């Protein structure tokens, strides 16, 4: 993943901002001082696809690695000042994902349906600018753990949840989608239709994982894992 490609686009679109370092560090010298960006998606637990969450991502780049940049995201259950920190997610390029050991790939989920299905949004930017952002994100894979597996509890208890992505129509909990749409004043179906038209691709159709060891796919259940051009 090319940091200049993503951060350059995000900076131009107003999706990144800079946070000053804490008082105990030099100004602008801490890990939270790097440019970061916000997007919102719907997560589900890999071991229980019925368990779904509206999740806010705040991400910055770790640069200089041999496999390109790794985008490091802190995950929250809301976008307000008192939101719970519920986990972490790492984003890598498709090229980096392909080089992973087979035993490692079971931890990584694709973002193709999240983009084309309209579940992933970048609040606070125009539809045009958001589309530019999605053209970058659709090519990435994510590894996410929710370390506060039940945000309704007073403190984070229980084992961390490995998170998976929605990968086909009918997998999202309609109540979760409706709540997200209401909170951010968006329409997932309209977003999806606009993206399908822009990308010229049909939405992925990948079944829910059979178990926690299943390896993700980007587009199809079997055969060549390639996108299907949009039908006329």
* Res 217 pLDDT > 90: yes
Cα–Cα distance, 197 to 116 (Å, whole number): 10
- pLDDT of residue 48 exceeding 90, the answer is yes
> Distance between CA atoms of 196 and 189, rounded to whole angstroms?
11
Residue pointed to by tokens 């919102």: 40
Give the rounded distance of the alpha carbon of 169 from its chain centre: 17
Residue-wise pLDDT for 11-43, tens only, equals 555 555 544 333 444 456 677 666 678 999 999
Q: Tokens representing 78?
A: 């809301």
The pLDDT mean for the chain works out to 89
Residue 201 pLDDT > 90, yes or no?
A: yes
CA distance 79 to 84: 9
Residue 44 has phi, psi (to 5 degrees) of: -135, 150
Q: What is the pLDDT of residues 114-126, one digit of tens each?
A: 999 999 999 988 8
Query: What is the average pLDDT across 48-72?
Result: 89
Q: What is the pLDDT of residue 9?
A: 56
Average pLDDT over residues 164-191: 97
Residue 10 has pLDDT above 70, yes or no: no
pTM over 0.75: yes
> What is the arithmetic mean of pLDDT over 114-143?
94
Residue pair 69/63 in contact by the 8 Å Cβ criterion: yes
The beta strands (E) that lie in 63-139 are given as 70-76, 85-93, 109-110
Please tell me the predicted confidence (pLDDT) of residue 28.
61
């Amino acid at each position: 993943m090319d940091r200049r490609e993503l951060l350059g686009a995000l900076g131009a679109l107003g999706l990144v901002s800079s946070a000053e370092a804490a008082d105990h560090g030099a100004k602008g010298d801490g890990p939270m001082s790097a440019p970061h960006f916000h997007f919102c998606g719907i997560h589900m637990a890999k071991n229980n696809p019925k368990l779904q969450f509206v999740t806010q991502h705040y991400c910055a780049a770790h640069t200089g690695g041999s496999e390109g940049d790794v985008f490091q995201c802190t995950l929250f259950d809301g976008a307000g000042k008192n939101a719970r920190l519920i986990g972490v997610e790492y984003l890598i390029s498709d090229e980096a994902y392909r080089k992973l050991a087979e035993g490692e790939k079971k931890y990584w989920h694709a973002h193709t349906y999240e983009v084309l299905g309209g579940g992933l949004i970048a609040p606070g930017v125009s539809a045009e600018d958001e589309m530019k952002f999605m053209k970058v994100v659709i090519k990435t894979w994510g590894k996410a753990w929710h370390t506060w597996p039940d945000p309704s509890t007073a403190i984070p208890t229980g084992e961390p949840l490995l998170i998976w992505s929605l990968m086909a129509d009918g997998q999202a909990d309609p109540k979760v989608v409706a709540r997200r749409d209401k909170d951010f004043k968006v329409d997932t179906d309209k977003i999806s239709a606009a993206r399908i038209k822009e990308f010229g691709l049909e939405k992925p159709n990948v079944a829910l994982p059979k178990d926690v060891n299943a390896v993700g796919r980007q587009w199809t259940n079997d055969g060549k894992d390639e996108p299907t051009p949009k039908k006329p």
